[in-house]
Amino acid sequence: MWVSSLVSILPLVVFAFALPSKDCEHQVKEEVVSPQGWTIFGPAPSDHFINLRIALPQSNFDLLEQHLYEISDPYHERYGAHLTKEEVEDLVAPHPDSVVAVNEWLSSHGIQEEDISRSSAGDWITIKVPVWLVEKMLDTKYYVWKHSTSGEYIVRTTSYSLPKDILDHVELIQPTTMFGTFKRLKSTIHSISQTNSQVQSQNQPPVSDPVTGLTVDASCNTTITITCLQQIYNAVGYTPSAHVGNSVGISGYLGDFANKADLQSFFEDQVPAAAAVNATYNFVSVAGGLDSQDPADASDESDLDTQFAFGLSFPVKSTFFSTAGSPPFDPDVKTPTDTNEPYTDWLDFMLSHPNPPLTISTSYGDDEQTVPESFAIRACAEFAALGARGVSLVFSSGDGGVGDGDSNPTTQKCITNDGKNRTQFIPEFPASCPFVTAVGGTSLFPEQGVFFSGGGFSNYFPRPSYQDAAVQGFLNKLRKGTYSGLFNPNGRAIPDVATQSEFFRVFIGGVPFHVAGTSAASPTFAGFVTLLNDARLKKGLPPLGFLNPLLYSKAASGFNDITVGNNPGCGTEGFNATVGWDAVTGLGT
């Protein structure tokens, strides 16, 4: 193994010394303070290979954004006129000058075209290079860092530089300064517990909501099933079609395996029509993602997501995307490998896909502040590209209330990661991206905001215009000075909407469990978006695509306003659910 590694490095060594270097005048491109919770374990091994990802500036993103807002505005004449894959790629392709400049820089370090992998639009370059060469290219020093809580090791730097003549031709490079958990995205599942083998009949009268006029089974206040959701959200008796081009997808990461036998158990329990035909989903591997069907490997996250999203939307075409995760870096291995940020692999794959699902739910996220702002902005731009193609992207808003990823509000640290150690509410990313729909949580019936529902305001993204009226109304109701300095009142506000998120009856390893978290809310909302797309497609209308401009305007009257509940965190009671939009349940359910 050591010999093969040496052989693969030798050509790079020769080129690195044979070609003129462009290293003489470097300028810092990005720099971060030492991140909280991480300490230097030691220097990174010089022969450790890194999959270095280089983002070239997207030449016409402003025009793409204009297209996106026009085709997503229900009052605009272009509403629903989604762009093709080729049209989107033309808009995000890098300028030829950037391609030439970066190619010359790479070539000066012995990296040739055959060593380079390019994204479908050419705006991302990926190269696999050893640490010693990355350090030379970026005029930096990589270290092995250890996390004080998880014990996880990663290879990162806190600063990198580029030659001045290519500085403007590169938007960002990773993995460099990212110390978040995108290498190991955390699930936003809040709690899980084993439940009875069958839903118990309570011999209690149905429960009615005087506001909506809807009536649901009393059991729905202790166990959420497909039938409960259909009752609560007024979809009883609606049957979607498998033949109008509709589709729904779930994204899974880091060895979270969806189990098909569990799905069958779920269908037998809650969707007998699907069980009768042995319905299942399509599996798609992204960057080597696996599909273990061993019951011992069944994931609470992926089972929850697939069972409820696909159960609500049956018989619509359904797909589970398994993206290979990054194994924890082992500093004792002599020839270590580290695949880094699987999330970008998923984005690359979906943007290159000729026909991505029309609705995609993702129940993973990270504290916004642990993701470098440059990376968050670029990832958000790629969500916009998918939205322009007619894809509705739905994300959990998080389970920490107004606090960080710790779901226990009494132990949250809520300290800024900028070296100033200020107390601050911590929003969740990617939910904070204005081009996705963030889903918070409710509980019980009539519904109320659930305490763990992630909500707040982004520190990276300004509030989009589609939110102005609704969010300003909420801010006006806050008592003057309430939480002053703890949140950014001008930031993109989350969540956008909410759904049920407690007592979900999920089969895991053949056993029924109760699961809670906004991990349940996101696939639930995605399931209902899929039904709405079905209704449109049956009428010859285009799918909904990027949802938010519609939700905050023409569709606002379709939501049930939630006015009870709050989301504590950071030593506070958090925000309150109130009339109109709020930072607990958004526009409502």
Q: What is the 3-state secondary structure (H, E, C) of 407-420?
A: CCCCCCCCECCCCC
What is the torsional sign of CA 501, 502, 505, 509? positive
Determine if residue 168 is labeled as part of a ligand binding site. Answer: no
Q: What are the pLDDT tens digits along the chain (589 aa)?
A: 343 443 444 444 444 444 445 456 899 999 998 888 889 999 999 999 999 999 999 999 999 999 999 999 999 999 999 999 999 999 999 999 999 999 999 999 999 999 999 999 999 999 999 999 999 999 999 999 988 877 888 899 999 999 999 999 999 999 999 887 643 334 566 667 777 766 665 678 999 999 989 999 999 999 999 999 999 999 999 999 999 999 999 999 877 899 999 999 999 999 999 999 999 999 999 988 999 999 999 889 999 999 999 999 999 999 999 998 665 567 776 555 554 567 788 999 999 999 999 999 999 888 898 888 999 999 999 999 999 999 999 999 999 999 876 656 656 678 888 888 899 999 999 999 999 999 999 999 999 999 999 999 999 999 999 999 999 999 999 988 899 999 999 999 999 999 999 999 999 999 999 999 999 999 999 999 999 999 999 999 999 999 999 999 999 999 999 999 999 999 999 999 999 999 999 999 9
Q: How confident is the model at residue 162, as a pLDDT?
A: 97
Q: How confident is the model at residue 418, as a pLDDT?
A: 82
Determine if residue 561 is labeled as part of a ligand binding site. Answer: yes
CA distance between the termini of the chain: 56
Inter-residue contact 51 to 128 (CB < 8 Å) = yes
**What distance in Å separates the CA atoms of residue 3 and residue 9, rounded to the nearest whole number?**
10
CATH of span 186-329+342-558: 3.40.50.200
Sequence spans of domains, the chain: 2-58+93-178, 186-329+342-558
Q: How confident is the model at residue 78, as a pLDDT?
A: 98
Catalytic pick from 59, 432, 519, 522?
519
Single-letter residue type at 143 = Y
What is the torsional sign of CA 26, 27, 30, 31? positive
Inter-residue contact 505 to 512 (CB < 8 Å) = yes
Specify the pTM.
0.93
Q: Tokens standing for 253?
A: 């990461």
Q: Is 502 helix (H, G, I), strand (E, B) or coil?
A: coil
Inter-residue contact 379 to 364 (CB < 8 Å) = no
Phi, psi of 352 (to 5 degrees): -90, -10
**What distance in Å separates the CA atoms of residue 589 and residue 577, rounded to the nearest whole number?**
12
Catalytic pick from 256, 301, 447, 496?
301
Q: How confident is the model at residue 366, as a pLDDT?
A: 85
**What distance in Å separates the CA atoms of residue 286 and residue 582, rounded to the nearest whole number?**
36
Determine if residue 558 is labeled as part of a ligand binding site. Answer: no
pLDDT tens figures, 511-568: 999 999 999 999 999 999 999 999 999 999 999 999 999 999 999 999 999 999 999 9
pLDDT tens figures, 488-512: 999 999 999 999 999 999 999 999 9
Determine if residue 165 is labeled as part of a ligand binding site. Answer: no
Q: From 21, 27, 50, 24, select the one nearest 161 (Cα to Cα).
A: 27
> Catalytic residue at 113?
no
Check residue 551 and report its DSSP letter: H
Q: Tokens standing for 252?
A: 């899974």
Can you give the length of the chain in residues?
Answer: 589
Inter-residue contact 142 to 157 (CB < 8 Å) = yes
> Catalytic residue at 305?
yes
**What distance in Å separates the CA atoms of residue 585 and residue 253, rounded to the nearest whole number?**
26
- The DSSP code sequence of 269-321 is HH-HHHHHTT---EEEEETT------GGGB-HHHHHHHHHHHHHHTTSEEEEE
> Catalytic residue at 367?
no
Other CB atoms within 10 A of residue 102 CB: 19
Inter-residue contact 318 to 310 (CB < 8 Å) = yes
